[in-house]
Structure 1
């Protein structure tokens, strides 16, 4: 993943740290509130940026952690956590080698981040998500849809992965696009709970909004609380 090189510059500016990037997305807020009622406590914001979700998680009562490849983003998130008076464990890190122990989290969020990759790179990230999630844990993510107006533009550097050399935004770096079949194939080992091909604010900016569950049993041989309660809904 190299898109953090672009975002590192954005996060250094006042405008880059405000607006939508400072407010949690309603879809994330709704899912997090539902999971909290089911007993979720420990949450990881993967690609936390300046903390739009990691800070909100802490304010909502979760034990919140966040990691990002951008040093500028993590620094800004730490500063904001001090201003708000909340505790968030924030780390600069590689998503393919997360600095957390196995089975650390009930819930992992990756909002508008993991598709800055090719299939091989995404596979490494998802291996790490599986590792740090507890059995029955929830992985909520967005992926770029093949219905997105940017699909097919620029140079195809890997199957369904494009970069636009002349772009003035992060599309100068690789972006991967998927359809429903790709989602299931790439997320083998997860149980898909929901997937919506949703258009974001910009016309044609279709993203998959996905919620996955990591099946399994805990070390005692019984279903983890989140998994057991969700299965009974």
Structure 2
């Protein structure tokens, strides 16, 4: 008999992981930064109706809340970390940007259907097991208005990073909890990595299956060649633009 993971346990683990990240300490600074917006977000924002209502799925400390709010969009966001939401609310208030933030898993968005003019998730939505990822995408589809576009990025299986994951699994350093989903289940994971959170990697077929209820506007392998001490390969991510159809 298959033992399926308990969603409540998954969410509690994710909350603890993101709380560790957003409370600071010896962790990757990219998660606490209000750096320049993702270029894909800038391009996407140029296509949106002025003053539209947008949803940031996994908004963290407010990087894109600040950018999009500064461009005059109305912004809502969720994060499973109370600290992340608090930080987003604080920076929004400081910059006089209206922001509706909720502590929530991606799998149960606290808004009615057909609410948003667009949605985004950068470096966030892949941090869960595939069943939760399927449910999260269904929730995004539900709250989007027909014709609205969702943008996101996903780790690619065609990268050195993915090969490193496989090498670590073979060495007993990581667990592949399901196909192409990796997590460090040790009692003392490296705090400078975020591998205590699940990482789901995708190929094109997997992404098309995950997004089967959307119209795929863009499915781009944003990869570049590199050479490291471990060899040559590619780094980067999938970039996805997906539209809720006008009719269902």
Match for residue 165 of structure 1?
185
| 1:176 corresponds to which of 187, 200, 219 | 200
Contact 1:55 1:88 in 2 (8 A): no
Is it true that 1:98 corresponds to 2:109 in the alignment? yes
1:207 aligns with 2:237: yes
Q: 1:150: how far off?
A: 3.1
2:154 to 130, 143, 152: 143
Give the secondary structure class of the aligned counterpart of 1:210.
Answer: strand
2:213 to 189, 206, 211: 189
SS of residue paired to 1:195: strand
CA distance in 1, matches of 2:149, 2:221: 19
Question: Do residues 115 (structure 1) and 126 (structure 2) align?
Answer: yes
Uncovered stretches (5+) of structure 1, i.e. residues with no partner: 219-233
Shift of 1:217: 3.7
State which of 6, 22, 31 in structure 1 corresponds to 2:44.
Answer: 31
Q: Secondary structure at the match of 2:161?
A: coil
In the alignment, the residues of structure 2 paired with residue 73 and residue 107 of structure 1 have an alpha-carbon distance, to the nearest angstrom, of 21
**Shift of residue 185, structure 1, vs aligned partner:** 0.8
CA RMSD of aligned residues (A): 2.4
Cα distance, 1:15 vs structure 2: 8.8
8 Å contact 2:113–2:144 — kept in the other structure?
yes
- Work out whether residues 110 and 140 of structure 1, in 8 Å CA contact, stay in contact via their aligned partners in 2: yes
Q: For this pair of structures, how many residues does the alignment match?
A: 215
Q: Is structure 2 residue 175 aligned with structure 1 residue 155?
A: yes
1:11 touches 1:17 (CA, 8 Å); kept in 2?
Answer: no
Larger mean CA deviation between 20-29 and 208-217 belongs to 20-29
- Alpha-carbon contact 1:103-1:134 (below 8 Å) kept: yes
User: Would the aligned equivalents of 2:184 and 2:197 in 1 still touch at CA under 8 Å?
Assistant: yes
Aligned-pair CA distance for 1:35: 2.1
Q: Structure 1: which 4+ aligned runs deviate by more than 3 Å?
A: 1-4, 14-20, 202-205
Conserved 8 A contact 2:51-2:72: no
Within the candidate set 72, 75, 83, 1:72 is matched to 83
Q: Distance in 2 between matches of 1:29 and 1:142?
A: 14
Query: TM-score of the superposition, structure 2-length normalised?
Result: 0.79
Unaligned runs of 5+ in 2: 1-10, 169-173, 229-233
Aligned counterpart in structure 1 of residue 99 of structure 2, from 78, 81, 88: 88
